[in-house]
Amino acid sequence: MKNARFNYFMDGFMKSNKIIIFLIAIFIISSFFTAYIYSQENELTNDDKLQVIDKLISELNNAYIFPDIALKMETFLRENLDNQKYNNISNPTGFASVLTRDLRLISRDKHLHVDYFSEQIPKEKSEPEELTPVELERIRNMEESENFGFHKVKILKGNIGYIKLTSFMNPAHATKTIANAFNTISNTEALIIDLRENEGGNPYMVQLICSYLFDSRILLNSIYWRNRNTTDEFYTLSYLEGKRYLEKKVYVLTSSKTFSAAEEFAYNLQALKRAIIVGETTAGGAHPGIFVKLTDNFGMFLPTGVSINPITKTNWEGTGVIPDVLCLEKDALKSAKKHIQNFKK
């Protein structure tokens, strides 16, 4: 699981900021010590598994974006319990994987997943806690180490701007990085934004980067949250630190790995006819959500929201974003360059 997908829509929507720190720490640790953690896992009893499933079902019925599908998932899990389908699974990581598989079999929701953590998950709080200066600095350092997702910014032959985005991070500290990127490519004749290795991130970063491509206030996307019964609307921003990129061709490269917020970025621009999408059909995940603690060591990413595009009145869930120019991932950059050259003629 990559960092971007792990943090998908996490900022502002998690129940406890302490859990954010915990999850980031676990992700970093697991990247280096997966084998060690696996060897330290305790075997699960049937009572342990029942506790996980009971809590999981309760959370699904309470907040999963589609109540009818939540009930179908409950029925399926209960049937599996009655048929002793989980009795021979004693490994925690294996059990989490099986639950994820079973939930997705019914929901077809790629954001819905169960995870096992070797360290105890912090207690949830009724209200989010303020992060300490040390915790804030830790997050900022992590984001800065990845240049806030801006992996490459350069000018290609033929005066073509190129930005490779590997994730959409929290924009709070990234405004100067974004401004520098768009100032660098401001005088190019066309722009290619590469999302082929991008598995998502923060919707406010999507909003901010999209804003550089428009000169008026436009509704990009809305998210309805079942757990809050509210709708968040994402408009282009009026103030930006860098130069806007207007009245020039924009191309967005995609792959089958392009996921979540990265898909929203491509879908927004395609629906508004502001960009030409080149590459492979994307993964198809449009349901943001929250992290939920199930037991001391099991947690679930629970989709509680649904994206609604103001133009199409729907989203890319299940279908993915279908490119305007369909080609293999490895050929996408070459294809976009060719398209730009043909347009110049």
By three-state DSSP, how is residue 245 classified? Answer: coil
Question: Do 243 and 340 fall within a single domain?
Answer: yes
Question: Do 240 and 333 fall within a single domain?
Answer: yes
123 assigned to some structural domain: no
CB-based contact 19:122 (threshold 8 Å): yes
* % of the chain beyond a pLDDT of 70: 85
Question: Do 160 and 28 fall within a single domain?
Answer: no
128 assigned to some structural domain: no
CB-based contact 272:213 (threshold 8 Å): no
What's the rounded Cα separation, in Å, for the pair 149 and 33?
24
Q: Is the pLDDT of residue 185 over 90?
A: yes
140 assigned to some structural domain: no
243 contacts: CB under 8 Å, gap ≥ 6: 179, 182, 183, 186, 212
Q: Helix 261-271 vs helix 203-211: angle between axes, to the nearest 10 degrees?
A: 30
135 assigned to some structural domain: no
Choice among 24-33, 168-177, 293-302 with the minimum mean pLDDT = 24-33
Question: Do 157 and 270 fall within a single domain?
Answer: yes
CATH number at residue 279: 3.90.226.10
Q: Is the pLDDT of residue 22 over 50?
A: no
pLDDT of residue 208: 98
| Total domains in the fold of the chain | 2
What mean pLDDT, rounded, does the chain reach? Answer: 88
Q: Is the pLDDT of residue 30 over 60?
A: no
Full domain range(s) for residue 16: 3-116
296 assigned to some structural domain: no
Q: Is the pLDDT of residue 13 over 90?
A: no
What's the predicted TM-score (pTM) here? Answer: 0.85
**Of the candidates 95, 116, 137, which is a domain's last residue?**
116
Measured over the CA atoms of residue 186, residue 191, residue 196 and residue 200, the dihedral's sign is: positive
Q: Is the pLDDT of residue 24 over 60?
A: no
Token reading at 124: 């949830």
Question: Do 275 and 153 fall within a single domain?
Answer: yes
**Of the candidates 72, 97, 116, which is a domain's last residue?**
116
Question: Do 105 and 157 fall within a single domain?
Answer: no
133 assigned to some structural domain: no
Beta sheet of 219-225, edge-to-edge order: 230-235, 219-225, 305-308
Question: Do 184 and 85 fall within a single domain?
Answer: no
40: confidence class by pLDDT, cuts 50, 70, 90: low
pLDDT of residue 124: 62
Number of CB atoms found within 10 A of residue 256's CB: 15
Question: Do 154 and 96 fall within a single domain?
Answer: no
Question: Do 314 and 253 fall within a single domain?
Answer: yes
**Of the candidates 99, 116, 133, which is a domain's last residue?**
116
Question: Do 86 and 158 fall within a single domain?
Answer: no
Question: Do 94 and 185 fall within a single domain?
Answer: no
180 assigned to some structural domain: yes
The whole-number average pLDDT for the span 319-327 is 98
140: confidence class by pLDDT, cuts 50, 70, 90: confident
What's the rounded Cα separation, in Å, for the pair 225 and 208?
21
Question: Do 283 and 215 fall within a single domain?
Answer: yes
297 assigned to some structural domain: no
